[in-house]
Amino acid sequence: MSTLLKKQSSSHYKSVKKQERRSTILAYVTLIVLTIIWLYPMVWIILNAFRTEYNNQGQLVGIVVSHYFPKQLGFENFVRLFQETYFANWFINTLKVSSVSFLISTILTLSVAYVMSKLEFKGRKAFLNLAIIMGLFPGFMSMIAIYYILKAFNLTQTHVALMLVYSAGAGLNFYIAKGFFDIIPNSLVESARLDGATNAQIFVKIILPLSKPIIIYTALLAFTAPWMDFIFARVILGETNPELHTVAVGLYYMMYGERADSNVFTMFAAGSLIVAVPIVTLFLSMQRYYIEGVTAGAMKG
C-alpha cells in the first residue's frame, strides 16, 4: 500500500513539475516576443538616426527607406539637425521649462501630500474624494479654458505660461506621495509637536529626510512631463515663433510643417535620440529610488 502511495505521489510530483516547466517556457517565450515588439521601433529610430545613405545624385537620403539596417552610418543627421533647424533652442527651452516646473511641482506635490497624510482638518475626506474624481479626467479637457485664461493675461507664446500649466495642477497628484508619508510613524510627528516644532519644521527636518525615494520619484515625473508633452505646448506656443518651441513641438513641425516634403525623417530620428538621452540617463541612475518610491507609496496610497 505504501509503495503504491509513493508511486502515485512521485507521478503527481513529476506531472506538477512538467506543468510548471511548460508554464515557465511559455512565459519566457511570451516575454521574448513582447520584448522584440517593444524594442523593434526603438532600434529602428536609432538606426535611422545614424543612417547616412546617398541617392544617385549624391544627396543624403533623409526619408524612410525600404531596408531595416542602414548600408552606411555616420553623424551627418545630427550635424544637419543643429545647422538647419532650431533644435538647440528647442532643447534649451525644454530644459528650462522642465527645470523650473519640476522644482515647483515637486514642492507642491510633497507639501499637499504631507498635509493630507499628517494633518487633520475639516473637509479633508471631501478633498480626497474630489482629487480622485478630478484625476479621472485627462488634462487636455481643460485646454481651451486654460488657453483663454492665459490669453487674458497676455501669457500665450511664452515659456512662463508652460511653467504655470505644468506646475499648477501638481498638487492634485499627491496620492502616491501621501501613501509613502502614511508609512512614516505618526509618533515622530507627535513627538516633534510636543517639542514645539511647527508643521513647516516637521516637514523639512523630519519628513523630507526620510522620504528620499518619493522625492526622486515625484521629481522624475515632473521633470520628464515637459519633454513628452505635445498638446499643451503646441496650443500655448503656437507655430509663428519656431525658436520658442519645445522639442516635441519643434520635431513635429519639422516633420509636418513647411518642410514636410523634405527628406527630414532621419533628422527627426536624430532629434528623438538626443531627447531620449537625458531622460533615459536619469531613469537608469535613479531607478532604485524610483521603484522604492512608487511601491512604497502604492502600499497605503
* Mean of pLDDT values over 93-101: 93
pLDDT value of position 103: 92
Residue 44 has pLDDT above 80, yes or no: yes
**Chain mean pLDDT for the chain:** 81
pLDDT band of residue 3 (cuts 50, 70, 90) is: low
pLDDT in tens, 60-94: 555 555 566 777 788 888 988 898 888 999 999 99
* Cα 266 to Cα 224: distance, rounded to the nearest angstrom: 24
* Cα 195 to Cα 150: distance, rounded to the nearest angstrom: 46
- Please name every residue paired with 201 in a beta bridge, in sequence order, or none if there are none: none
Written as nine digits, the cell of 231 is: 498638446
Q: What percent of the chain has pLDDT over 90?
A: 15
* Cα 75 to Cα 64: distance, rounded to the nearest angstrom: 17
pLDDT band of residue 97 (cuts 50, 70, 90) is: very high
245 closest CA partner among 256, 234, 255: 234
Backbone φ and ψ of 187, nearest 5°: -60, -35
pLDDT value of position 96: 93
* Cα 243 to Cα 88: distance, rounded to the nearest angstrom: 9
Greater model confidence, 59 or 16: 16
187 closest CA partner among 209, 174, 202: 202
* Cα 99 to Cα 219: distance, rounded to the nearest angstrom: 10
pLDDT in tens, 102-134: 899 999 999 988 888 888 888 888 888 888 888
Task: Indicate the burial class of 196 (C-beta count within 10 angstroms; 0-12, 13-18, 19 or more).
Answer: exposed
Q: What percent of the chain has pLDDT over 70?
A: 83
62 closest CA partner among 42, 78, 43: 78
Q: What is the pTM of this model?
A: 0.79
> Residue 45's Cα: distance from chain center in Å?
19
Q: State the DSSP H helix or E strand holding residue 293, giving kind and residue range, or none if neither.
A: helix 287-300
Contact 247, 271 (CB under 8 A): yes
Classify residue 59 by its DSSP letter: P
115 closest CA partner among 50, 157, 172, 164: 172
Residue 4 has pLDDT above 80, yes or no: no
* Mean of pLDDT values over 243-265: 79
pLDDT value of position 53: 72
CATH number for the segment(s) 78-300: 1.10.3720.10
- Ranked by mean pLDDT, the top range of 91-95, 173-177, 200-204, 275-279 is 91-95
Classify residue 203 by its DSSP letter: I
Choice among 17-21, 64-68, 124-128, 240-244 with the minimum mean pLDDT: 64-68
User: Concatenated DSSP letters for 78-116?
Assistant: HHHHHHHSSHHHHHHHHHHHHHHHHHHHHHHHHHHHHHH
- Please name every residue paired with 51 in a beta bridge, in sequence order, or none if there are none: 73
pLDDT value of position 8: 55
* Cα 23 to Cα 17: distance, rounded to the nearest angstrom: 10
pLDDT band of residue 259 (cuts 50, 70, 90) is: low
Domain definitions of the chain by residue range: 2-75, 78-300
* Mean of pLDDT values over 227-234: 88
* Cα 216 to Cα 301: distance, rounded to the nearest angstrom: 17
pLDDT band of residue 58 (cuts 50, 70, 90) is: very low
Residue partners of 292: CB distance under 8 A and separation at least 6: 213, 217
pLDDT value of position 215: 87
pLDDT value of position 9: 61
Report CA-CA distances (Å) from 21 to 16, 39, 64, 264, 265: 9, 27, 43, 49, 45
